[in-house]
Amino acid sequence: MQNHLVVALAYDRLCTFEFGCVTELFALERPELGVPWYRFAVCASEPGPIRAAGGITLAAPYTLELLADADTIVIPGWRDADEPPPAALLAAIRAAYERGARLCSICSGVFVLAAAGVLDGKTATTHWRYADKLQQRYPRLRVQADALYVDAGQVITSAGSAAGLDMLLHLVRRDHGSAIANRVAQRLVVPPHREGGQAQFVPRPVAPDDSGRIAKLMDWVRGHPAEPHTLRSLAERAAMSPRTLQRQFRDATGMAPYEWLVRERVAIARELLEASAALPMARVAELAGFGSEESLRRHFRRIALTSPGAYRRKFGGAEEG
């Protein structure tokens, strides 16, 4: 990641919050982390003054030519989902994609990537209010409407506004490992990884969990990941029926209890792999609650998109696994 250049796109009627998230993550120097941090720059998508939400006028120091040097490009929203992006911007995005740059969008920024054609055949997400419009307008991509973000490898898309922080922290985790991402999240005073999808934020009637039983159950499970949890045992601890637990847990997190549990265990396994190159893989599986190396490898690859051994080689030690 030495000298990795992140470029944020600025445009007239800029989405200020999304742009601020990108700046906060990548523009601040972070010497306390002890890893080569990113270089950061802003380029304008078009000539002329850039007006931003809140009455701000922004002067971007670079033009679209900078995209030719960018390692990661972030599009922090787009001014109008119904307004076609400028042809010059789309051409620059396509050229960056073809040479292997990583492309990221927040909220309506996905419409720029879709218009450029770099999402054809891929899965993407956007704010739930735009999901149907995106799918109808660009039928060659697959919209995952309930996701906070979707990592399709070279192209990563996120849902509305604050979900951009989830995606940006995911990029840090992908580049530097979960320990570094956790420290960045701590400085931001946000969760290092929110579980569930944006379905939990779509307006709908939800029975309130007045006693906080779901939150208490989640906290307890985080402290006891290696126990042999089942839907029935979790329901008994929460003093609910299994059916009620399923319903309320999905309302609270957007996921079924088992899927949430597996993701928690993968997060624990990541931390163990980063912390020690000597810890046997069987012990990692045991401590994280998977029970077997085979189960660890299967779930780790599905969620982290790599093997435990490859993850350890990149972020921890050199042990094969």
What is the torsional sign of CA 54, 57, 61, 64?
A: positive
Task: Tell me the CATH number for domain 208-321.
Answer: 1.10.10.60
Residues of the chain with CATH 1.10.10.60: 208-321
Q: Is 225 exposed, middle or buried (0-12, 13-18, 19+ CB in 10 A)?
A: middle
Radius of gyration of the chain (CA): 21
pTM over 0.85: no
Decide: helix, strand or coil at residue 153: coil
Classify domain 5-188 at the CATH superfamily level: Class I glutamine amidotransferase (GATase) domain (3.40.50.880)
CB 52 within 8 A of CB 11: no
Spell out the per-residue pLDDT of the chain, length 321, in tens.
Answer: 678 999 999 999 999 999 999 999 999 999 999 999 999 999 999 988 899 988 889 889 999 999 999 999 999 999 999 999 999 999 999 999 999 999 999 999 999 999 999 999 999 999 989 999 999 999 999 998 888 888 888 999 999 878 889 899 989 988 998 888 888 988 887 766 665 544 433 333 334 444 578 888 988 998 898 898 999 999 999 999 999 999 888 877 778 899 889 988 998 998 889 888 888 999 999 999 998 999 999 999 888 888 999 888 887 744 444
Strands (DSSP E) along the chain, which ranges?
A: 5-10, 39-44, 50-52, 56-58, 72-76, 102-106, 123-124, 142-143, 149-151, 155-158
Domain with CATH 3.40.50.880 in the chain: 5-188
